[in-house]
Structure 1
Amino acid sequence: MELLIDYGYQGLFVAAFLSATILPLSSELVLTTLLLNGLSPTWLVIIATVGNVLGSLINYCLGFWASKSFIQKWLRISDADFLKAEHRFNKYGLTALLFAWVPIIGDPITVIAGILRVKLLWFIILVTTGKFLRYFLLAYFLIGEFPS
């Protein structure tokens, strides 16, 4: 994690991108450290959002193009759990994508969106909105003012 912090904005982009996949990284930790070191809150929020959304797009593409059995093996979920996840996504609809940033459930949501062939434009709008708000609010509460 220190290596990513040492690279500043580029390190944050990598952390945000990789943390949107199934890798256990914390883009919030990198963002927080860089905010406390005086880097531009506006650029940090933008870079973290872009990196995290692009990582989620990888999950979406995997769901869109990979076979269901491959995805179940990759995510280590049973048929029953897969059906439950699909049912929850259908129950809450596209608004579930606003929560793609939530640990543990966020990555499967983005994969399921690809499997269900959610329109890419809606995927990008909703995932970006949720992820941007998370980073924006984190920066706001950490530095006490809105990034500008």
Structure 2
Amino acid sequence: MEAWLYSLLNALALPQFGLSTVFVVAFVSATLLPMGSEPAVFGLIKLNPELFWPAIGVATVGNTLGGALNWWLGYGAHQAYDRLTHKEHPVKARALLWLRDFGPRACLLSWLPVVGDPLCGVAGWLKLPFWPCVLYMALGKFLRYLFMTSALLWLFPGMVELPR
């Protein structure tokens, strides 16, 4: 078990794999697994400042694709429920009614910790239009990465310094 964990950590080492690692970490962190991708993005940019925009872009794409997967999982769960019960699930909860009324724009909040990932799944459950949801997810996630990374770089300018 220890060897497997060591090889996994080696495979995810930022300086060795860079943008592909950021993509995988961002994708996985957008699923319902409890994981954050901001440290990976910040670490890569701190070690390679010239990768600021590529890292923000790759993280946004990975995280948005993870949110899109959550949308499809929610949509599929609703389809399965309808097939098993032979009836449409009524939307009664106030939060679900709010989300349905707000529409795809609610996916702009998919960047929020704890509630953002399930929000994408609920958008799929409610059968909100896929592409507008993905567009709002991408915008929210892009702004989060841009703001968080810029703030961390500004707050901790000397946090990681490579020996010369």
Fold shared, TM-score > 0.5 on shorter chain: yes
Residue among 32, 36, 42 paired with 1:26 = 36
Is contact 2:72–2:124 with CA below 8 Å preserved after alignment? yes
User: How many Å separate the matches in 1 of 2:94 and 2:80?
Assistant: 16
1:116 Cα shift?
1.1
What runs of 5+ residues in structure 2 fail to find an aligned partner?
1-7, 82-91, 155-164
Size of the alignment, in residue pairs? 134
Q: Which has the larger radius of gyration?
A: 2
1:43 Cα shift?
0.4
Q: Which residue of 2 aligns with 1:36?
A: 46
Q: Which runs of 4+ in 1 moved over 6 A?
A: none
Do residues 113 (structure 1) and 128 (structure 2) align? Answer: no
Q: Which residue of 2 aligns with 1:133?
A: 143
User: What is the TM-score when the length of structure 1 is the normalising length?
Assistant: 0.79
1:46 Cα shift?
0.4
Sequence identity (%):
33
Residue among 61, 70, 73 paired with 1:50 = 61
1:92 Cα shift?
3.9
User: How many Å separate the matches in 1 of 2:135 and 2:78?
Assistant: 25
Q: Which residue of 1 aligns with 2:27?
A: 17
User: What is the TM-score when the length of structure 2 is the normalising length?
Assistant: 0.72
User: How many Å separate the matches in 1 of 2:135 and 2:149?
Assistant: 21
Deviations 1:55-99 (A, max 9, x none): 0011000111124888xxxxxxxxxxx934413413544332111
1:124 Cα shift?
1.3
What runs of 5+ residues in structure 1 fail to find an aligned partner?
71-81
Do residues 83 (structure 1) and 93 (structure 2) align? Answer: yes
